[in-house]
Amino acid sequence: MKNIEIRVNPPYTVMIEKGVSRLCPVLLKEICSVGKVHIVTDKNVGALYLAETENALAKAGFSVSHSILTPGEDAKTEASLFGILSNLKENGFDRLDCLLALGGGTVSDVTGLAASLYMRGIRYVTLPTTLLSMVDAAVGGKCAINFGGVKNLIGAFYQPSLVLLDPDYLSSLPLDIYREGMAEVIKYAMISKEYADAFFSEENLPLWIEKAVACKGEIVSADEKDTGKRRILNFGHTFGHAIEAASDFSLSHGESVAIGMCLITKAAVRRGLCEKSVYETLTGALKKYGLPTSFSGDIDTLLPFIREDKKSKKDKISLIVPVSLGSVTVTDVPTKEIADWLTDGTV
């Protein structure tokens, strides 16, 4: 089993191993003794894994309840959040009990935020079931809901107590959900030289997942609150989140980030900040996994969402700009110049 320590306060472990989810009852006893566990999942994942997870926990002596969310981005609402909080209250949860996120990134986001709010903070554990959540959402403690049409506007930094990463869950993934996760996998190849070497040398998904978690863990450990180095994890996301929101979430997170990465990389090439080969390598990797590489809409529709991006500061927005394969830099761009960057990324 591969254990990766996330060195925040308090620290926690990401355990990576096929079948590790079956150890969940034993490991939860170390976190919350034999108390109450509230599972948060969505309808799709719940139909596959909720009953067996509940039964295993109940057999181990836990009192188990659950909340079932709408699949996808529609889950990240005030109604979902307060539904979970109401269920915790009705079931008599206290600070010694635990939430369990069983699902993809949206489930992890909402569960973490609920855990941060209930009684000013209770423990939660994540069991990510998608590639996207394994390499991104489940690790790092960012949790949020969408609000007022803006992606992740209401949220917190609140770390899980444990992450159990079981690749067996990936066998049930639909192809489009798998492809969505590959956008984040490719992102790591763009921001980390070590990861780029591993990604482009051989097709090895278990190795990619392990190195992605290690890469993110190192970054989060150095910058938990996203004020310094952690910002590079947002490569492709400023434009991507705007694309996602402007589409009314008809485009998935992974598809939107794929387009966002291409826009910022093409703009960097046009401005002489990186070689054309970087853009060609990126688009080639995305196309290999059936992900989009261009934006055909009106860039003016993106600007209101970019201005409201949570990474904006007064009259500037931080863009993560590639300089070579596996290397990016943080560039603070005046808000009034964002349209020019978008134009450079689409022409």
How many whole angstroms from its chain centre is CA 333? 25
Say if residues 142 and 155 touch (Cβ distance below 8 Å): yes
Q: What is the rounded average pLDDT of the residues 80-87?
A: 98
Q: How far is CA 197 from CA 21, 186, 284, 291, 293, in A?
A: 30, 12, 16, 21, 22
What share of the chain has pLDDT > 90, as a percent?
90
Query: Domain map of the chain by residue range?
Result: 2-172, 175-346
d(CA 107, CA 101): 6
How many whole angstroms from its chain centre is CA 185? 11
Residues with Cβ < 8 Å from 310, sequence gap 6 or more? 150, 152, 153, 155
Q: What is the rounded average pLDDT of the residues 203-219?
A: 92
The pLDDT of residue 310 is above 70: no
Q: What is the rounded average pLDDT of the residues 121-149?
A: 95
Q: What is the rounded average pLDDT of the residues 300-319?
A: 85
Q: What is the rounded average pLDDT of the residues 103-122?
A: 97
Q: How confident is residue 1, by pLDDT bands cut at 50, 70 and 90?
A: confident
- Hey, what are 218's tokens? 């190192």
Q: How confident is residue 311, by pLDDT bands cut at 50, 70 and 90?
A: low
d(CA 110, CA 56): 23
What share of the chain has pLDDT > 70, as a percent?
99
Give, for 208, the enclosing helix (H) or strand (E).
helix 205-222
Q: Say which range, 10-14, 311-315, 319-323, 326-330, has the weakest mean pLDDT.
A: 311-315
Would you call the peptide bond into 71 cis, given omega within 30 degrees of 0 as the criterion? no
Task: Kindly state the DSSP code that residue 168 receives in the 8-state scheme.
Answer: G
Could you name the CATH architecture of 175-346? Up-down Bundle (1.20)
Neighbours of 36 (CB within 10 A): 20
- State in words which class domain 2-172 has: alpha beta
- Hey, what are 267's tokens? 């703009």
Which amino acid type is present at position 166? D
Tell me, what's the pLDDT at 61?
A: 96
The pLDDT of residue 312 is above 80: no
Burial class (CB in 10 A: 0-12, 13-18, 19+), 84: buried
Q: What is the rounded average pLDDT of the residues 268-282?
A: 97
Q: What are the tens digits of pLDDT across the range 144-189?
A: 999 988 889 999 999 999 999 999 999 999 999 999 999 999 999 9
Q: Do domains 2-172 and 175-346 have the same CATH topology?
A: no
Q: How far is CA 177 from CA 27, 73, 138, in A?
A: 28, 13, 16
Tell me, what's the pLDDT at 150?
A: 85
Q: In the predicted model, what is the mean pLDDT of the chain?
A: 94
Q: What is the rounded average pLDDT of the residues 128-143?
A: 94
Q: How confident is residue 227, by pLDDT bands cut at 50, 70 and 90?
A: confident
Q: Give the dihedral sign, CA 254/320/282/141.
A: negative
Residue in 319, 344, 314, 343 with CA at minimum distance from that of residue 331: 319
- Hey, what are 60's tokens? 């181990």
Tell me, what's the pLDDT at 180?
A: 92
